[in-house]
Amino acid sequence: MAEADPCSFSSFQKFVTRHVSLTWNVDFCRRVITGSVALTIEAQEKQQNSLILDTRDLKIQNVLFNGQEAQFSLGTKHSFKGTPLEICLPDEMQRGQQAIVEVFYETSPAASALQWLTAEQTLGKLHPYLFSQCQATHCRSLVPCQDTPAMKFTYYARVSVPKEMVALMSASHDGNEPDPLDANRKIFNFRQTVPIPSYLIAVVVGALESRNIGPRSRVWSEKEVVDKAAYEFAETETMLKIAEDLVGPYVWGQYDLLVLPPSFPYGGMENPCLTYVTPTLLAGDRSLSSVVAHEISHSWTGNLVTNKTWEHFWLNEGHTVYLERLIAGRMFSEQFRQFKAIGGWKELLHSFKVKADLKRDNFNAFLGFLKAYIQRFAFNSVATDEWKTFLYSYFKDKVDILNAVDWNAWMHTPGMPPVQTKYDTTLADACISLCQRWSKAKTSDLESFSAADIKDMSSHQLIELLALLLIEDPLPLTHVQRMQEVYNFNAVQNSEIRFRWLRLCIRAKWEEAVPLALKMATEQGRMKFTRPLFSDVYKFEKFHDEAVSTYRKHRTFMHPVTAMLVGRDLKVDAEQSTAS
């Protein structure tokens, strides 16, 4: 018996969704999507009563069950699950029997999955822009559905948009046609023929252009950055080939990239056929392309083999980070892969603020296991227990080793993993020693620093240097001022460097860095950057009010989820409703 999903009202033990067919009209004036969804559902056991779908802030007009009007009701709104939609079955359903449930509905302008941008907020300034972000539980604000990663279905979509604009989805494009109902509009058709979980439904509408970057890849963005993006992500096909070599064929056909407006809240999002990335990756030197390697890796771990519920999220992200680093290892060097692993470990350590105990462990056969796991569970959703059972069956001659693993510590004990791998520290050593020089320096030592300290360091190493300095106690103001003098970090545009540098300055209470930090926090909205920058300024007592007033001023232009979370961080009440 399948376990339940605590994030969903839908009872996927009773029904499964096989296919979803969307008919949408994107209304930029009202900031809503109107239309319908037809769900092909299948009873898993004899059913007499009702079917429950997840919704959030949706207006439901009517429901048809096999073409016949059906009774429905919305329950009470739950804090994070949204509102259950209960649909009465007009007829009894037998086990295995399928039906088409069609829901006519409208989204809310505050839908948590959607950000609506005015033309003014875009690069081109001529057309508005819409994008979705459904992971983890926001699809229900876009489509009434069984919004759980335990369920996989194929989807088709027909999307009507203003005719000067382009619609893209996490699917193959299946042609356009004029909208027969409105001469100013155009319909884009899509098909996703590989079954996907609801959180991978994605839609974007904007003045988009594209460039070819490989035999199965285009990069999409507003025209102002499309050439820069084509340069930045030119390694995409190389990465895809390495990934295929590691874990098997890429089953999704096209692999396109979409560079979103700066308010996109994540670094990347693995929407099938169309990875979304933040424009903060456009460093000009391809140095932040590991995010693309990460999203490519999700094509196997996440999209092909999917975590059954969000409690098993590590199955998606853990295997994906492992693959992301193997790709980096093949592209650059094994030394570089291990450098990234050390950085990742430190980041994890810092996030727990606990001490690690150092042991040695090496599990080279893991890639063989991962490949077999992907083959075994392709097109399915998996829970941690199933992963573990498969691990034991794959390593049946190594049961002793597996039994010696402290599974309870790994899976159920908060804090660091119970073992630590030893890595090649060549590239990390330069960062560690320079970090130590700065953190131990007395005022009289400051003269000894010069631009030569960092002239042989890569941008990856500069990021790591600053990350290490952020773990230490705040530097004195004199130190960061000297650092600016000799390294001129204020001039660096690379977002990962700039972010850590500005945090370091704020921690050192350098007042001149406050406007720069708030500028970065608001000019882009990647939550990894925006939330800590706002919080750091907020904690700098003298600028507490400025952080709050800057937030209030920008809130209506921010992504609904970012606005909600920054508001929570800064303890500002949601005076006007953004998203739930």
**Nearest to ligand BES of 103, 169 (CB atom):** 169
Q: 448: which 2 tokens?
A: 């000894």
Task: Give strand pairing partners of 284.
Answer: none
CB of 135 to ligand BES, least distance (A): 4
- Of Zn ion, ligand BES, none, which one sits near residue 528, judging by CB under 5 to 8 A according to partner kind? ligand BES
**Nearest to ligand BES of 116, 276 (CB atom):** 276
Which 306-325 positions form the footprint of Zn ion (CB under 5 A)? 317, 320
CB of 294 to Zn ion, least distance (A): 6
CB of 112 to ligand BES, least distance (A): 12
CB of 111 to ligand BES, least distance (A): 16
- Of Zn ion, ligand BES, none, which one sits near residue 235, judging by CB under 5 to 8 A according to partner kind? none
- Of ligand BES, Zn ion, none, which one sits near residue 135, judging by CB under 5 to 8 A according to partner kind? ligand BES
CB of 322 to Zn ion, least distance (A): 11
Collapsed DSSP state (helix, strand, coil) of residue 338: helix
How far is residue 411 from each of residues 360, 392, 406, 418, measured CA to CA in Å? Answer: 19, 16, 9, 10
Distance CA 232, CA 224 (A): 14
Distance CA 558, CA 552 (A): 10
Nearest residue to the partner ligand BES, using Cβ = 267
Closest CA to 571 of 540, 533, 542, 545: 545
- Of ligand BES, Zn ion, none, which one sits near residue 155, judging by CB under 5 to 8 A according to partner kind? none
CA atoms within 13 A on the CB side of 297: 24
**Nearest to Zn ion of 242, 508 (CB atom):** 242
Collapsed DSSP state (helix, strand, coil) of residue 295: helix
- Of ligand BES, Zn ion, none, which one sits near residue 173, judging by CB under 5 to 8 A according to partner kind? none
Which residues, other chains included, contact 478 with Cβ-Cβ below 8 Å and sequence gap of 6+? Answer: 443, 446
Neighbour order of strands in the sheet with 129-132: 114-117, 129-132, 203-206, 166-169
Which residues, other chains included, contact 22 with Cβ-Cβ below 8 Å and sequence gap of 6+? Answer: 35, 36, 37, 143, 155, 156, 157, 158, 159
Which 318-377 positions form the footprint of Zn ion (CB under 5 A)? 320
CA 474 to chain centre: 30
Q: Interface with ligand BES by CB under 6 A: which residues?
A: 135-136, 266-270, 291, 294-295, 298, 317, 528
- Of ligand BES, Zn ion, none, which one sits near residue 510, judging by CB under 5 to 8 A according to partner kind? none
**Nearest to ligand BES of 266, 449 (CB atom):** 266
CB of 325 to Zn ion, least distance (A): 13
**Nearest to ligand BES of 218, 294 (CB atom):** 294
**Nearest to ligand BES of 10, 137 (CB atom):** 137
CA 362 to chain centre: 29
Question: 16 and 44 in contact (C-beta within 8 Å)?
Answer: yes
**Nearest to Zn ion of 270, 536 (CB atom):** 270
CB of 527 to Zn ion, least distance (A): 14
Q: Which residues bind Zn ion (CB under 5 A)?
A: 317, 320
